[in-house]
Amino acid sequence: MYEAETEFARTLVAEVCALTRRVQQEVVANADSLTKGDRSPVTLADLTVQAVIGHRLAERFSTDAFLAEEDSGSLDASPAMAEKVGALVRSVIPELDGKAIATTLDRGSHPGGAEGRHWVLDPVDGTKGFLRGQQYAIALALVDRGKVVVGALGCPNLPAPGERGNGDGWIFHATRSAGAWATPVAGGGAAPATVDSISDSGQAVFCESVEAAHAAHSVQAGIARRLGITAEPYRIDSQCKYAVLARGEASIYLRLPRDENYREKVWDHAAGAIVIESAGGRVSDLDGNPLDFSKGRKLATGRGIVATNGLLHEQVLKACREELAG
């Protein structure tokens, strides 16, 4: 079940990986011309990816809804941005004019929920990694009656297993109850993605964001001490953290809540969560409840994210509760 949707998602994510690489390479080559806080290159990539994926989805699965991060507002605000997005989109879909691109972008306004089917997209996850010329992800998932059933996670710069830094990229795809798989962006056969089998928390490796403020490094260091973890964390941007866990290079990934009222957005976790769970791991909120993708555009019923290899999950939840309470 969902074989056609899974293959479609994997192929589509591979297509847009090439587009985002083009934009990122231009960013790196012209880094001196960027001012601090200039997000225009990643906005360009976001809008381009969303337009291409939204159009392909409408062609192939016309009755499915679409929930995505961006809309056409950035095009309305900047004719220069609209021109650049249009040129990139038409490099792969020549027939799309500016009006069609704006319409496709605005299809992503679906409210989510538990009815029917809708696709969830984060066009470029990991803004700072993208702008540094490092890691980012393209995350596409299918939600059917409130449950994530298909996920494709493109990591265009991820290195080969066991290596660090930039590489040639990998795509992870998963179907509920059918396992997770990893394929090189450059092409080749898919290999199973499987979490590690570590049950002694002292042997585990944390995966966390590069940016200290983003990941609350000091709090996570306290949680690591409670678990007896001494290894250096694997620091990487974006939903690539889910990919690293899925292929067994780390055992734990936490997304701690910014405050009591903050709730995560569905596009930041839908694809990554099904990849981890299909690879044999577990993903929950801080109370140990499964993530609920049926409540709209946010994970409205739980705080924080805990992703592990499964064997360590209860130990990690306990350490989180103790550290956060302290």
Print the SS3 string covering 138-186: EEEEEEECCEEEEEEEEECCCCCCCCCCCCCCEEEEEECCCCEEEEECC
Q: Tell me the pLDDT tens digit for each residue of 32-46.
A: 666 667 788 999 999
Structural contact between residues 155 and 1, judged by C-beta atoms closer than 8 angstroms: no
User: Would you list the domain boundaries of the chain?
Assistant: 3-193, 201-325
Q: Is the pLDDT of residue 215 over 70?
A: no
Hey, which CATH number is domain 201-325, 3.65.10.10, 3.40.190.80, 3.40.50.720, 3.90.480.10?
A: 3.40.190.80
Neighbours of 313 (CB within 10 A): 19
Start-to-end CA span in the chain (Å): 46
Residues 172, 191: Cα–Cα separation, whole Å:
10
Strands (E), 2-68: 65-68
What is the structure's pLDDT at 214? 52
Q: Tell me the pLDDT tens digit for each residue of 252-279.
A: 999 998 788 899 999 999 999 999 999 9
What is the average pLDDT value for the chain, to the nearest integer?
A: 94
Cα atoms in the 13 Å half-sphere on the side-chain side of 6: 20
The number of helix segments (H) and strand segments (E) in the chain equals 11, 12
Q: Is the pLDDT of residue 135 over 70?
A: yes
Which residue intervals of the chain are DSSP H helices?
3-29, 40-60, 73-77, 79-90, 98-106, 127-131, 212-215, 217-227, 240-246, 270-278, 313-325
Neighbours of 185 (CB within 10 A): 20
Q: Which residues participate in catalysis according to the annotation?
A: 46, 127
Q: Is the pLDDT of residue 84 over 60?
A: yes
Query: Which token pair is 312?
Result: 């360590």
What is the structure's pLDDT at 237? 94
Query: Which token pair is 296?
Result: 């709209």
pTM for this structure?
A: 0.96
Domains 3-193 and 201-325 in one fold: no
Cα angle: 247, vertex 17, 295; to 5 degrees: 70
Query: Which token pair is 223?
Result: 């949680």
Hey, which CATH number is domain 3-193, 3.20.130.10, 2.40.50.140, 3.30.540.10, 3.30.70.260?
A: 3.30.540.10
Neighbours of 230 (CB within 10 A): 10
Gyration radius of the chain over CA positions:
19
Q: Is the pLDDT of residue 161 over 60?
A: yes
Structural contact between residues 246 and 279, judged by C-beta atoms closer than 8 angstroms: yes
What is the structure's pLDDT at 38? 78
Residues 118, 99: Cα–Cα separation, whole Å:
23
